[in-house]
């Protein structure tokens, strides 16, 4: 049984809002690849990508690891999936809980880029957190280190404690970096059960 302190950790809050089979980065610096490949596979209802396929196809060949890999990830799903980014020329909206919920309602997965900070507060790198489902008061998230849980709207935009696989905190990116991978409005279909 969880103590009240343990229930304060987002990864200990479970309500089973939606079945989500996210990928686990397996101790490698593959959070971008695991998050994006997991979202694509979920939305397509089948295994389309592995994080290794995505890494080989895009990021390491170009020498970068960022959200531009999402464009490569949806190539096998042309016409079925689209990528949207807040604060971009084609989508000028600011990232907010209401925008995240709007994307979820459109059968999307939202991937937030967060700063990972060490326990002393120093910058350790970047980490991704996928927002996969919603209820009226909570959103369901998946961390590619293998932890899922629930957050409030306020927590989505706040500093979070890292799950047991890491230490320190996850801090929102000052540029509010995120992407949404969505089913195209032109293409219906069921999500993976």
Predicted model pTM: 0.86
For domain 4-183, give the fold. Cathepsin B; Chain A (3.90.70)
Q: Which residues 6+ apart lie within 8 Å of 75 measured at CB?
A: none
* pLDDT tens for each residue of 55-98: 887 655 566 667 888 888 888 888 899 998 876 665 656 788 88
Which residue in this structure is represented by tokens 């979202």?
A: 39
Query: Cα(39)–Cα(48) distance, rounded to whole angstroms?
Result: 10
Q: What is the pLDDT of residue 112?
A: 92
Domain ranges of the chain: 4-183
Q: What is the pLDDT of residue 175?
A: 67
* pLDDT tens for each residue of 94-149: 788 888 999 999 889 999 988 888 888 898 888 899 999 998 888 999 998 888 88
Cβ atoms within 10 Å, residue 49 = 23
């Amino acid at each position: 049984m969880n103590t009240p302190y343990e229930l304060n950790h987002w990864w200990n809050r479970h309500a089973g809002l939606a079945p989500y089979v996210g990928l686990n980065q397996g101790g490698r610096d593959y959070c971008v690849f695991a998050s994006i490949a997991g979202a694509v596979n979920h939305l397509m209802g089948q295994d389309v990508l592995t994080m290794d396929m995505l890494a080989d196809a895009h990021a390491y060949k170009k020498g970068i690891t960022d959200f531009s890999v999402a464009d490569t990830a949806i190539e096998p799903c042309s016409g079925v999936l689209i990528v949207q980014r807040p604060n971009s020329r084609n989508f000028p909206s600011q990232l907010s809980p209401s925008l995240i919920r709007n994307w979820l309602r459109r059968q999307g997965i939202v991937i937030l880029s967060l700063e990972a900070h060490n326990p002393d507060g120093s910058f350790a790198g970047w980490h991704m957190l996928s927002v996969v489902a919603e209820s009226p008061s909570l959103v369901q998230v998946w961390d590619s280190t293998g932890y899922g849980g629930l957050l409030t709207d306020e927590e989505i935009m706040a500093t979070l404690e890292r799950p047991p696989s890491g230490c320190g905190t996850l801090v929102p990116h000052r540029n509010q970096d995120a992407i949404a991978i969505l089913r195209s409005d032109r293409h219906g279909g069921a999500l993976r059960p």
